[in-house]
Chains A and B, each alone.
Chain A
Amino acid sequence: MIDATSRRTVLLLSLAAGFGLWAVAFVVLYAMLSVGCAFGWDRGSLVLGLSLQRLQLLLLLGIFLALHVALVVGLKARQSRADAATDRFLRSAARLAAIAALAASVFTYFGAVVLTTCNP
């Protein structure tokens, strides 16, 4: 049985979950972009005219967007079991933040789909 204090601690931390995920996605995408450029993954095409560089970025972006959606859904599922008013407020705030983070990831990372990745 989790006591109320540690449950609130988890809830408080979940406020940062959405944008925490955004930050992790930023670091991973940026790092893998640079790794891909260093190894020349942008040259040539593997499948459907897409380079290995584009494919790995699309795959990573897809994974992170799926995690974002899972987070939003997960926070909703737990919402019904809320009891105290504080808990309800924290849950809905965390969920709204997670939705905002999903929108932020789509907005900031869609460049990975369309932009030139490496210096030609």
Chain B
Amino acid sequence: MLAGATVIFLATSLALAGAFIPSVRPLLTPKRLILWGGLVVPSLGLAALVAGAFALGERLLPRQGAETLRIEVVARQFAWEFRYPGTPVATRDVLHIPVGRDIDFAVTSEDVIHSFWIPRLGGKIDAIPGHENIVRLRADAPGTYGGICAEYCGEGHAPMRFTVIAHAPEDYEAALTSEAAR
């Protein structure tokens, strides 16, 4: 994203600088500026973004067969609850995940529609009462990521955040155990 923005910024600066160079200026006809700056370049940029988004979207789908971990996400006004099947652990507004493993988040809601979103890890998915949506995400590096409700759900919507802690695989079990002891 930063690299793309830098390229666009430099290209625009170059075109702008050309307007001040007498020998270059006649080349910058309105027709060329509109054709290249208004049609060709944005179309190429959009095509690249769309292709990237489609490829990423396919990766977020919970396909069968893969060795995934399942975590249940329940949204309610105005908090997130995370349950870890196979353990008695439930955490509130803090989500523990292992690094380097695909995780299927089964997302639902107890009241209104919310949306589960960890921007650094990928796409968001709606949390709908009476319905379970699944999104497959993966953290490649350990650390703390921010998560947020991405669908307006009432007056407590804006601060309806949660923290994602991505543990190294060997630390993950220990993290859940210490949560269970709480």
Chain A residues within 8 Å of B, Cβ to Cβ: 107, 111, 114-116, 119-120
For residue A119, which residues in chain B have a CB less than 8 angstroms away from its CB? 61-62, 133-134
**Count of B interface residues, CB-CB < 8 Å:** 11
Chain A's closest residue to B46 (CB) is A107
B170 on the A face (CB < 8 A) = no
Interface of B is mostly: mixed
Residues of B within 8 A of A120 (CB): 61-64
A77 to B28 alpha-carbon distance, docked (Å): 36
CB distance from B39 to the nearest CB of A (A): 10
Q: Inter-chain contact count A-B, CB under 8 Å?
A: 17
A-facing mask of B45-57, CB < 8 A → 1, else 0?
A: 0010010001001
A112 to B107, CA, bound (A): 26
Question: Contact residues of B with A, CB < 8 Å?
Answer: 47, 50, 54, 57-58, 61-64, 133-134
CA distance in complex: A120, B134 (Å): 9
Cα separation A119 to B57 with both chains bound (whole Å): 11
Q: Give bound CA distance, A116 to B59, whole Å.
A: 10
Query: Chain A residues with Cβ under 8 A from B64's Cβ?
Result: 120
Q: List B contacts of A114 (CB < 8 A).
A: 54
